[in-house]
Amino acid sequence: MSSPLKGLVSMQDFIRLKSSLPVAFKPGASVRGYFGVGLFLLTALIVQQSTGWRWTLLTELQGTKTYKLATGLGLLACVLYQWRFSVTRAQGGQHNFETMMGRHKLFGTLLPLVFFFHSQTLGYGYQQIFSLTLLLIFLTGLFNLQIVTIYKPWYRPVWISAHVGLSMALLLLMTYHVYINYAFK
């Protein structure tokens, strides 16, 4: 195949790929499934926080240092795993995109549950800011581009900036939280 013809084929492949992206991100049953589970977990967390209900056994477990450390490491691992998707995409890796996106959504959907097992309260001061940042990241992920169909050119960059920016802030708050909890003990 000659060079100009090869370039034309590559350009046609690019145009075909570009035109198929909206179809690939079209809302489907699995997207709505993640949304439904996430909305249920968020609603349960809001009801639990507003009524002050506490699971007695979990409260006792959360009082032990070992449990706090284990669930804190679990929450940290969950957040760092979420960053794996973003870093891989930023490096240009597109292999297994659907699998990685599915796992990103699954871990993100279960984030309120992981948070609940670590702490049944939002905390006070910086811990409350930390908790609310985590929930805002969850909300921006829940109401993603597949669920909220806003076809304005400004929406995608704003959404990505909010989701990733809050995630960066969360890493800083997590680092501060670990420092405060273990530097003075």
Residue 41 in any domain: the answer is no
Q: What is the mean pLDDT of residues 7-24?
A: 45
Q: What is the pLDDT of residues 145-177, one digit of tens each?
A: 888 888 888 888 999 999 999 999 999 999 999
Residue 68 in any domain: the answer is yes
Helices and strands, counts by H and E, the chain: 8, 0
Residue 176 in any domain: the answer is yes
Whether the Cβ atoms of residue 138 and residue 37 lie closer than 8 Å to each other: no
Q: What is the pLDDT of residues 81-136, one digit of tens each?
A: 999 888 888 887 777 788 888 888 889 999 999 999 999 999 899 999 999 999 99
Residue 24 in any domain: the answer is no
Per-residue pLDDT at 12? 52
The DSSP symbol for 91 reads T
* 105: its two tokens: 């959504």
Supply the range of the domain harboring residue 160.
Answer: 49-183
**How many domains does one find in the chain?**
1
Predicted confidence band of residue 31 (pLDDT cuts 50, 70, 90): confident
- Burial (Cβ within 10 Å: 0-12, 13-18, ≥19) of residue 89: middle
Q: What is the mean pLDDT of residues 6-31?
A: 46
Categorise residue 54: left if φ over 0, alpha if ψ from -120 to 50, beta otherwise. beta
Residue 5 in any domain: the answer is no
Residue 1 in any domain: the answer is no
Residue 164 in any domain: the answer is yes
Q: What is the pLDDT of residues 56-79, one digit of tens each?
A: 999 999 999 999 999 999 999 999
Residue 11 in any domain: the answer is no
